[in-house]
Each structure stands twice: as C-alpha cells, then as structure tokens.
Amino acid sequence: MNKMTVETPVLVIGGRTTGLMMGSELARHGVAVRIVDKSPGIDPHSRATLLHSRTLEILHSLGIARRVIKDAQPMHGICLYANGRFIARSEEYAVDSPFPVAVALSQAKTEKVLEQHLNSFGVKVERSTQLTAIVQGADGLHATLKHADGREELVDTPWLIGCDGAHSTVRHLSEEVFPGGADPYPYMLADVVVDGPLKPEDAYIFLNDHGDLFFFLLDEGRRLVVANAPKGSNLSEAPTLKQFQEIVNERSLPDFRLSDPRWLAHFHIHYRLAPHYRHGRAFLAGDAAHVHSLIGGQGMNTGIQDAHNLAWKLALVMRGVVPNTWLDTYETERRLIAEDVITVTKKATEEGEIFASLSPQEREKLIEHMFVPEGEKMRVRHHAEEIDLDYSSSPLCVEPDDGFEGGPHAGSRAPDATPVLVNGKICTFFDLLSGANHRLVLFAAPTESDSLTDLASAAGAVVEAHGHWIDVFVVGNQIQQFALPHNVTIIEDPNRSLYQRYGAKTGSLYLIRPDGYVAYRSRRLHSLGEYLDRVM
C-alpha cells in the first residue's frame, strides 16, 4: 500500500449524529473527509431526544447551538408517581453553564442541523452506500464500498472511523467483540401527543405494579412515551395506539389521552461496551463502541462527545504536529465515560423494573433513594448534564504541584466567564474557545507592571514555536499599550471574573485543548515546554 498524503480523505462510516459530528469536526480542523451511510436519508423518527448542557456547549463552540435549541423544549423537572399516587417533583436545578438545563429535540432535527453544518464545509453524506470489507496496512486501509446500484468501489484511506451504530460493520470487520447483555424486559415506545394535566417542561415517571411508564419530553408539545412489557413478551409487531392507551390507563392516571402517533415501535435495551476503541487505523465511536439504556438520555450526547474528542487529535497527528500515540488517548479518555454511563443508566432502569416485586417497605426505601438529598443535588445535576466529565487520568492532562487554590484542574472542563472584552467588544470566555487550535491563556499577575516583560517573553516563545497549532491569549486590564508579540490576543477582565474562575491569584498559565478541557496549568509562565516534552 502506498503511503497516503494528508489530503487523502479520512473515511467515516455512518451518517447519524456521531458520524455527522465526526465528519464536520474533521473538516473544521482542516482534514479531508468522506462520509457514507447505508440509509437513504435522515431517519424521520424522534429516537434520541435529549441534549445535555455539555453537548450544547460544544454545539455553541461550533456556532450551531442556537439553531438546535430555538425549537427545543427545555426540561425543568421530573414528576414521580407510584401506583397513581403523586410522590414528588424533582426540580432540574440550573447547572454552571450558559445552557443550564437539558433540552428535548427530535434526533431527526438535531441531525438536520448537523448535516447542514457538515455541508458548510463542502462535505455531503453519500447515502445508500455501505462498507463491505477492509484490509489494514501500515500506512492506511483499503475499504470496499457498495453503492445502491450494486457498484463496488475500492477506496484507500489513511484512517477509518466507525460511527455506524450498535450493529457496526466496522466493529464486525475489525473482529472486535461487543460483550454485555440484554435487559430482561422488552420495551415499547410511542411518539405521540398526550392530552392531560402535564407540565410541558416536566418529564413523568409512573411506577406501577403492572410495570413502569415514562413520559419523556419532545419538541412541538409531543411526548416520547416508553413502557416495559412483561418479561418474555413476544413483541413481533409494533404496538398499536390502542395498546399504548391501555397501558397508560393502567399505569398512570385516567386523565391522559394519546393521539397523533408518528412512531410506534418496540425494542430491547442492551448494555455493551467494546474492549477497544482503536484497531490499528480503524476507530469506533458512539453506539458502535457502547450501548445502554435510554433512561437519562445519555447515548446521543456520549457519541457526539466521542467525535469531538477524537477529531482534533486525528487532525494534529495527520498534520505531523503530535505523535501517533495521542490517538491512544481517545480510548483512554472516552471508554471510562462510557463505563460510567452504562453503570448509571442500568441502575436507573432496574430501579423502575423491580418496583412491582418489592414489599411496601422496600418500595418506600426505593422511592426515597430515587430522590437526591438537597446537599447532593448540584453534584448529581452536574454529572447528569455531563459538566463534570474528567480526563485527569489521561497522559495528555498534566498538572504539576504549583499550589493552585481553586480553578479547573488539568483534565477538567474549562468553565465560562463573563463579561470579558477583546478589542473593546464584550464577549464570553467560551466565545474565545470556539476555534480549532489549542488555547494558551497567560494571566498577568495582579501587580502587572512587575511581570509584563516575563509575560511577553513567554507569549512570544509559544507564538514562534507553536503558533501553527496554539493560539495565545494574555489576560490583564492595563496591558493594551505594552508591546506584545504579533498574533497574541489581549483579554480584558473588568470584573476579574476570569481570574476568579481560574484561580489566577498570581501570574498563571492554562493550556486548553480544542475540545474545551484543560490540558495543563502552572504558576510558571515559561513552563509549557516541560508539558510538551512530556506529552510529545
């Protein structure tokens, strides 16, 4: 196999949310990309519906969050009933984010926005095209694609990324196992209008002797209604609206009426996790690497964030900026996240399923356990909204013992701060993290005049050596007239909100990755070279 150039397109298999995110992120980072999908178009069904705060932050960095949320339904609470008795309402407290709560939107609409974003880079999804074979080589892969007319195409690609779902062809052809198991209960779902005493911003959980029932949020005032069937039920055909209405009557309240069904289906919940996310020059992402319960709405978000994690690393490797070993950190960082998602969603699903088999005393304990104590609510909310995802165990995240008091540690998400000013224009810190490069943020010491020479020297050294992949920012309120190197952006922090959020009580350095996580921080302004020596 001949060695391939950077211009040879990376091949992405799968054109759903994960694949669309992967393709557009690679293109945004300057990588030639080709994306194929075996389906003829976007699936019109609602499927995954919830977009969490961290995912919305990522979409904001791409400039498309507002297009996603303008028609979405924010989620503000969860109401719990047991055998028709109202138990309590759990409020979805606002988290520390510009997008403080999750929003519900049909996956088809999310995919439409993502596909338009992909198209803006001149890349289109090649539909009705499927992968049939791969042969790996030292410098790339041979892939065989089959088109709708039966024509077979042989493709050379430097990297192949499987975003092709739970039945992934890439995973199968890579001979990767998919260990795990299935939930014992079959499930049914319906995308319908529910008339009755429902708060449009609340989800509803009904625990019942006959099984559990969920009214999840959707946009357009609709609901995704989900219910489990008895163990061993043979659901060979899609349920009817009448059958669903009977289940709703039996398990919830007599006031609810279903109408206008757009989708009626049955499914089984599986809990599976691929042992490895990388096989030579092939990767797995999204449902191709992990599947779990839909409870909590984590699946689509996890896949989008898989893509957001891998794309910038692959781009830097292909440009020759960083070593190939950086690609191994994709599995190191993201597989731990998937393990946690599987554990949490499995526990939440099983709590509803066991209700019918419990004694009255056990039911009360279960219900009590389902409500988080007040002191724990914000921690749990940040976890549910994926604000607290942490890569501190990654070899790419390094933090010397420099005595920081507060601020985000290496491996954690870089938080927002507002207002800040650039060239006199008010913006947020997140607005400055929306580019494709790493961000080096140098904080001037409070006694700025004593450290500006050192600050300028540190900024200049990074611009000269790494300006092709690291953008440099200097934070301070009275340094506009000071001679800083070309291409250094000055951030004014009039309320010192950025200083406070980042624990910058003295001169400080933060290196923030393209995916918005802290790679390195130090009190020593000239210490970036130590980090690069370690990770390169």
Report the phi/psi class of residue 140: left, alpha or beta, with left for phi > 0 and alpha for psi in -120 to 50: left
Is-contact 430 414, C-beta < 8 A? no
The shares of helix, strand and coil residues in the chain, as percent rounded to the nearest 5, are 30, 25, 40
d(CA 271, CA 478): 55
Q: Where does a domain end: 294, 317, 348?
A: 348
Residue 34 contacts by C-beta under 8 Å, 6 or more apart in sequence?
9, 10, 11, 12, 123, 126, 155, 157
pLDDT more than 90, % of the chain: 88
How much is the mean pLDDT over the chain? Answer: 94
Question: CB count, 10 Å around CB of 200?
Answer: 11
Confidence check: pLDDT of 1 > 50 = no
Is-contact 173 271, C-beta < 8 A? no
CATH number for position 331: 3.50.50.60
CA 363 centroid distance within chain? 34
Residues 217 and 326 in one domain: no
The whole-number pLDDT of residue 450 equals: 55
Structure tokens at 304: 């989008």
Structure tokens at 455: 């600050």
Is-contact 259 284, C-beta < 8 A? no
Closest CA to 112 of 188, 198, 44, 48: 44
Average pLDDT (149-154) is 95
Q: Where does a domain end: 270, 300, 321?
A: 270
Enter the pTM of the model: 0.95
d(CA 270, CA 272): 6
Confidence check: pLDDT of 118 > 60 = yes
Tell me the H-state helices in 149-265: 169-173, 241-251
Average pLDDT (86-109) is 96
Residues 468 and 490 in one domain: yes
Q: Is residue 363 part of a domain?
A: no
Q: What angle do CA 377, 381, 385 make, to 5 degrees?
A: 180
The amino acid at residue 424 is G
Residues 216 and 125 in one domain: no
Q: Where does a domain end: 302, 323, 348?
A: 348
Q: Is residue 429 part of a domain?
A: yes
Residues 250 and 132 in one domain: no
d(CA 418, CA 14): 38
Is-contact 132 145, C-beta < 8 A? yes
Average pLDDT (72-76) is 98
The tally of domains found in the chain comes to 3
Is-contact 270 180, C-beta < 8 A? yes
d(CA 228, CA 211): 6
The whole-number pLDDT of residue 481 equals: 57
Question: Token pair 């995973």 is at which residue?
Answer: 171
Report the phi/psi class of residue 310: left, alpha or beta, with left for phi > 0 and alpha for psi in -120 to 50: alpha
Q: Is residue 248 part of a domain?
A: yes
Structure tokens at 352: 């509803």
The whole-number pLDDT of residue 469 equals: 97
CA 237 centroid distance within chain? 33
Q: Which domain holds residue 226?
A: 180-270
Closest CA to 46 of 201, 202, 212, 226: 226
Average pLDDT (285-299) is 96
Residues 230 and 295 in one domain: no
The whole-number pLDDT of residue 482 equals: 64
Is-contact 471 437, C-beta < 8 A? yes
The terminus-to-terminus CA distance of the chain in angstroms comes to 28
Q: Is residue 91 part of a domain?
A: no
The whole-number pLDDT of residue 390 equals: 96
Residues 188 and 263 in one domain: yes
Q: Is residue 297 part of a domain?
A: yes
CATH number for position 467: 3.40.30.10
Confidence check: pLDDT of 480 > 80 = no
Is-contact 58 113, C-beta < 8 A? no
Residues 174 and 184 in one domain: no
334-356 tens-digit pLDDT: 999 999 999 999 999 999 999 99
Tell me the H-state helices in 31-168: 53-61, 65-69, 107-119
With cut-offs at 50, 70 and 90, classify the pLDDT of residue 2: very low
Confidence check: pLDDT of 13 > 80 = yes
Residues 258 and 192 in one domain: yes
Residues 29 and 174 in one domain: yes
153-188 tens-digit pLDDT: 999 999 999 999 999 999 999 999 999 999 999 999
The whole-number pLDDT of residue 4 equals: 53
Residues 483 and 440 in one domain: yes
Q: What is the DSSP letter of 110?
A: H
d(CA 330, CA 316): 13
Residues 162 and 17 in one domain: yes
Helix (H, G, I), strand (E, B) or coil at 239: coil
Is-contact 507 445, C-beta < 8 A? yes
DSSP calls for 86-153: EEEEEE-PPPSSSS-S-EE--HHHHHHHHHHHHHTTT--EE-S-EEEEEEE-SS-EEEEEE-TTS-EE
Question: CB count, 10 Å around CB of 259?
Answer: 10
Helix, strand counts (H, E) of the chain: 13, 27
With cut-offs at 50, 70 and 90, classify the pLDDT of residue 87: very high
Helix (H, G, I), strand (E, B) or coil at 378: helix
215-250 tens-digit pLDDT: 999 999 999 999 998 777 777 788 999 999 999 999
In this structure, the strands spanning 278-279 and 282-284 are antiparallel
* Residue 357 exposed, middle or buried by CB count within 10 Å (0-12, 13-18, 19+): exposed
Residue 209 contacts by C-beta under 8 Å, 6 or more apart in sequence?
83, 355, 356
Beta bridge partners of 203: 78
Q: Is residue 522 part of a domain?
A: yes
Residues 283 and 322 in one domain: yes
d(CA 393, CA 125): 36
CATH number for position 212: 3.30.9.10
